[in-house]
Structure 1
């Protein structure tokens, strides 16, 4: 390992990636929502006209691509650096092509497509999304499932969240701030968690956002910034998004913080990305979300997320919303295999910075010899490997149970069969 070379390349990536900030560059003006809904309510909806002035990151892209060429990709650390630099370069190209088909090409290179087939499984994220929607369709509106009360203001929610993060991140200061110009309810970085100022929250939102945003996104980035030998682990490189969101949604599931509405919202976005890639425009997606039970303002924001590429038609799509289910499937499988193969260290590695699952495996020897540091912050569900192992083992077994021919009446039949067997 050439440590002097690695340090030089690592520092260059940290410096050159600073101007490439994808989500903030693609933010829609706040008035776009109101203008569209005004036309919708009058019966004459118009496609929003969005002008995005993405930053000129040409120089940064050039430097990052030069870094890629300098890396020896047979070395695991230099491979990580090359992949990270290329990821930021691809994101830079994406920003330089807002409003064009090239934007979509780079988006799918970074985040993937929802209809990509897992070769060993023969399924796609769209298949998973349709399954979740089919299973939950009949539960929507069931009188036995009480709707959530959404009555916590953004100010009150931010105050509660601040107290929680102060207790968890005992060695670091993490701000919680209100931001009126966000499409999502919350967005986490290493030292700041932003909350949409106009949002209203439920009690369930508390755990969901705490475990998802703070205990995964903020924790992994803070842990990465504490790395002495590889500062790039503290970057939110676009290539790590799928794994990051997979861990975060996994955290919601394993802590019982997710609910039917949230699960359906994730699934609906996957379907919507596919629809947009197939030619649906902003109004088509707005109606799709509206028909699925979302409010008008929620439907606008959901459609907006998928058209953050500077156009609202013609297959110019920001495909990031497909990664939530893709990442969940991949992380869940990864954790199952890590437990099966007696590699609990890989769970810890995932929290030591912003890594992909491949990084966690490839860099494992460097965690083992101490060149890379273990994470300072990990949520309880990930640190208690006895409970995690039990959950993963059970999950692996029940995945083999086929429900195709099973009905609720089968419970009665089974009881009778057991009585006759034991009598």
Structure 2
């Protein structure tokens, strides 16, 4: 890429000031904390013999303050949006991106105001997508993809040699192992793994840490996935985003960035051969559960869905509560868990198209921060002019693009082959 002339310093000062305001304004917004269910809800459900719907409605969420005034927060983002117009203009690419982010955070606030209602779920679909969304015109929906992959993965999981090893590593020991890996990848950056009691999933990444649930158990394969997914991608893109001199908003991604970031993390699991059929099945089960909930299934029906997959009562409750958090036990779902598979497909398609168009150098820019695929063309220009700096950290697979480019160069041809005909032709081989 040819280096363009650096923008005037006054312009960059304005960009940084406005970007910093977005970062500061979003700080008190904690979506997952605002919508999670208390442990008392779980205990009451289990003690009932798993026979009664959890008592969750709009009144329940009113007991969980957001930590900010919704009207003031919406006005704050509106004012930043107006100032972007006044100082950067309507058509300036960074103005367009940052104004969209401001509007998105206003939608987030409106969604959180409507916890326990249909409006919450409607906005969730706008932010994260729906199982009925298509990737491109005429393509299968996310729900279709879930059904197709479920069939394949079910067959694979019946094979004994593909069964994962038992989970014998407790959270304390897992933290020690992950901290060694973090220091090897990010020495001296102050990043760390730690134990937390306040998360639903086994693990989650924050700004400078990876949290592990205190009662979670792991195996070495799980820890490899966490290394690639949480450390390489989530901590890596955060570190790269926070290193940006002007576009500091790249260190804090809105929900639309979640699609790209989670997709990139799942893609990295696969590129590094760290994933497994069992891991993919867990992700596909989330898609299938959201699909069922969007079709009208309530909490009990989703709970029974997970039970039928071989999960125990506690895990089935945990996965079901992920589907309905922010909603009610009989409402529509919170659709964030679609982003893993949706983002994987979109990110993979971006990468293979970049290679087919002779632009593989675009791919590492996904790691500049909490990026979005729809902004990649603008991001290329911003890197060329020096407004955005290239990623400081890249996973091994992206440091040298030769192998990745060679692999992806076949993808267009391979996807054009008729799979049904392949099955017939290889019938006497497999």
Using the size of structure 1 for normalisation, the TM-score is 0.92
Conserved in 2, the CA contact under 8 Å of 1:152 and 1:202?
yes
Residue aligning to 1:57: 70
How far apart, in 1, do the equivalents of 2:228 and 2:300 lie?
33
Residue aligning to 1:419: none
Bigger relative contact order, structure 1 or 2 (CA pairs below 8 A, ≥6 apart): 2
Matched, 1:394 2:410: yes
* Cα displacement (A) at 1:211: 0.5
- Cα distance change on mapping 1:328 and 1:121 into 2, 3 Å: farther
Matched, 1:272 2:292: no
How far apart, in 1, do the equivalents of 2:278 and 2:162 lie?
11
Task: Spell out, residue by residue over 1:277-321, the C-alpha distance to the aligned partner (whole angstroms, 9 max, x if none).
Answer: 222111111111111222322211111111111421132x21101
* Cα displacement (A) at 1:393: 1.9
Q: Counterparts of 1:224-239 in structure 2 under 5 Å?
A: 224-239=241-256
* Cα displacement (A) at 1:122: 1.9
Q: Counterparts of 1:5-404 in structure 2 under 5 Å?
A: 5-40=14-49, 44-49=51-56, 51-52=60-61, 53-55=64-66, 56-70=69-83, 71=85, 72-315=89-332, 317-404=333-420
Conserved in 1, the CA contact under 8 Å of 2:398 and 2:404?
yes
* Cα displacement (A) at 1:218: 0.8
How far apart, in 2, do the equivalents of 1:251 and 1:406 lie?
28
**Where do 4+ consecutive residues of structure 1 move more than 6 Å?**
none
How far apart, in 2, do the equivalents of 1:243 and 1:92 lie?
21
* Cα displacement (A) at 1:411: 6.5
Deviates more, 1:373-382 or 1:8-17: 8-17
Task: Spell out, residue by residue over 1:189-240, the C-alpha distance to the aligned partner (whole angstroms, 9 max, x if none).
Answer: 2211111111100111011111001100111011111111111111132220
Q: How many residues align?
A: 411
Unpaired segments of 5 or more residues in structure 2?
A: 1-6
* Cα displacement (A) at 1:5: 3.6
Unpaired segments of 5 or more residues in structure 1?
A: 415-423
Deviates more, 1:298-307 or 1:142-151: 142-151
Conserved in 2, the CA contact under 8 Å of 1:54 and 1:98?
no
How far apart, in 2, do the equivalents of 1:185 and 1:19 lie?
23
* Cα displacement (A) at 1:395: 3.2
RMSD: 2.0
Report SS of the residue matched to 1:177: strand
Report SS of the residue matched to 2:165: coil
* Cα displacement (A) at 1:73: 4.0
Conserved in 2, the CA contact under 8 Å of 1:37 and 1:45?
no
